[in-house]
């Protein structure tokens, strides 16, 4: 049995699996909560704090109340127009009825001037564009680049993934959806003059619930069926096998606004378990099965600034604690491989909104504080609510 190949597969596979699973769960969580945009439960659109749609802090002001006086005479003015949007609120209406004393009809109130409120709280559960828009379809694509420079365990390559999904909102506060996708990882394993490739198909249901006008909880579980191809010694030895990955994630996301500023704190936890089945290489070496586990707690968020033309640039910062992880392996020099307890991520992006269509582009550096590892990702997302 080739113990060295088993250990090298464990080192390479755990790096690829942790990266792919964290990216997949992040994509699904963003779909469930909607990010800053109206897809899901928050953001630019009505239903998000400070959205473009009417509601507190939206670009359309709220309507005024009905304030007519009743019997007893006198003139009762209409209610005051709703405050909030960048456009003025409508004035109240509905004059009072004439009482026994012959009072006249009530007047009409005036709307307040349009002003962004401090910390505009979200309306309950309506996507932008229509109060009846409850169903959405979405797609996200991701490219990631891995460069691990650790001595006697160097590797580099790319990860590609794409996910699509559909979800629907129920009772204004609940969202349920189903996503599916594909991933592909290709790494050059420089330490053994070889390659590592994996392809996978994923299915994952997800759900979200608004706790109140500012906080949302999301939950997803999923399974990825995987196929692997490996080679070493300049492709003179190769092998193929298969496996699977279970994963789950849950998070709490906030949405707040102050004038044009948007703030989205988030705490999440992710669990992953992947198994690669045993196989026999082309030189008849037997390679044992491998298992990878990861438990990760993440805390951070986004801060963005809403522009007049429907765009919202933002910055993103996250910190990770890996509370459960795969053990180190023994490298060819007899040393143990590096195992990190955590790390960080910084990113920049822009979100956009047009009617029922929302989307974003984002670039992240995801290996702050991790030893001998550089991880860059670029993510594109689009969502249509109808």
Q: Are residues 152 and 203 in the same domain?
A: yes
Tokens of 1: 């049995």
Do 157 and 222 lie in a common domain?
Answer: yes
Last residue of a domain, one of 73, 96, 115: 115
End-of-domain residue from the set 67, 94, 115: 115
Residue 67 φ/ψ region, left for φ over 0, alpha for ψ in the -120 to 50 degree band, beta for the rest: alpha
Output Rg (C-alpha) for the chain, integer angstroms: 27
Which of 70, 91, 115 is the endpoint of a domain?
A: 115
In this structure, the answer to whether residues 201 and 279 fall within a common structural domain is yes
Q: Are 100 and 189 found together in one domain?
A: no
Domain carrying residue 107: 58-115
Number of domains in the chain: 2
Say yes or no: 147 and 292 in one domain. Answer: yes
What burial letters (b/e) apply to 47-84, b meaning 16+ CB within 10 Å?
bbbbbbbbbbbbbbbbbbeebbbeeeeeebbbbbbbbb
In a shared domain, residues 47 and 67: no
46 shares a domain with 18: yes
d(CA 203, CA 192): 33
Q: Is the pTM of this model over 0.85?
A: no
Specify the CATH number for the domain of residue 160.
2.40.128.130
- The reply to whether 104 and 200 lie within a common domain is no
In tens, the pLDDT along 285-327 reads 999 999 999 999 999 999 999 998 899 999 999 999 999 988 8
pLDDT at 3: 62
pLDDT digits (tens, 9 = 90+) for 104-125: 444 444 433 333 322 233 333 3
Is the domain of 104 the same as that of 82?
yes
317, 297: one domain: yes
Residues 277 and 355 in one domain: yes
Give the C-alpha separation, 71 to 109, whole Å: 19
pLDDT of 122-178, one tens digit each?
Answer: 333 333 334 567 899 999 999 999 999 999 999 999 999 999 999 999 988 999 999
Q: How many CB atoms lie within 10 A of CB 284?
A: 8
Q: Are residues 226 and 269 in the same domain?
A: yes
């Amino acid at each position: 049995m080739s113990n060295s190949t088993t250990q090298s597969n464990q080192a390479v596979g755990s790096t690829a699996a942790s990266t792919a699973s964290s990216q997949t769960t992040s994509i699904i969580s963003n779909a469930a909560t909607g990010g800053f945009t109206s897809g899901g439960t928050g953001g630019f659109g009505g239903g998000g704090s400070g959205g473009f749609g009417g509601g507190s802090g939206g670009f359309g002001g709220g309507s005024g109340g009905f304030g007519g006086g009743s019997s007893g005479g006198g003139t009762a003015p209409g209610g005051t127009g709703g405050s909030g949007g960048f456009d003025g609120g409508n004035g109240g209406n509905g004059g009072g009825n004439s009482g026994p004393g012959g009072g006249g009809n009530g007047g009409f109130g005036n709307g307040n001037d349009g002003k962004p409120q401090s910390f505009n709280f979200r309306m309950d559960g309506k996507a932008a564009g229509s109060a009846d828009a409850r169903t959405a379809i979405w797609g996200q694509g991701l490219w990631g680049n891995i460069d691990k420079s650790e001595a006697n365990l160097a590797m580099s390559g790319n990860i590609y993934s794409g996910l699509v999904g559909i979800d629907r909102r129920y009772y204004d506060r609940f969202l349920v959806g189903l996503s599916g996708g594909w991933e592909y990882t290709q790494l050059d394993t420089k330490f053994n003059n070889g390659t590592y490739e994996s392809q996978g198909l994923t299915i994952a249901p997800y759900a979200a619930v608004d706790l109140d006008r500012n906080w949302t909880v999301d939950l997803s579980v999923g399974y990825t069926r995987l196929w692997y191809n490996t080679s070493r010694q300049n492709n003179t030895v190769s092998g193929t096998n298969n496996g699977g990955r279970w994963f789950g994630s849950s998070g709490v996301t906030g949405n707040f606004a102050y004038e044009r500023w948007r703030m989205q704190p988030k705490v999440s936890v992710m669990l992953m378990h992947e198994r690669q089945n045993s196989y026999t290489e082309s030189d008849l070496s037997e390679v044992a099965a491998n298992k990878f586990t990861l438990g990760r707690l993440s805390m951070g968020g986004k801060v963005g600034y809403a522009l007049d033309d429907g765009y919202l640039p933002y910055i993103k910062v996250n910190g990770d604690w890996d509370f459960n992880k795969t053990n180190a392996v023994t490298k060819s020099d007899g040393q143990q491989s590096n195992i990190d307890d955590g790390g960080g991520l910084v990113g920049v992006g822009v979100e956009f909104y047009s009617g029922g269509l929302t989307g974003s582009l984002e670039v992240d550096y995801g290996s702050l504080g991790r030893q001998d590892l550089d991880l860059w990702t670029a993510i594109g997302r689009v969502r249509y609510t109808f």
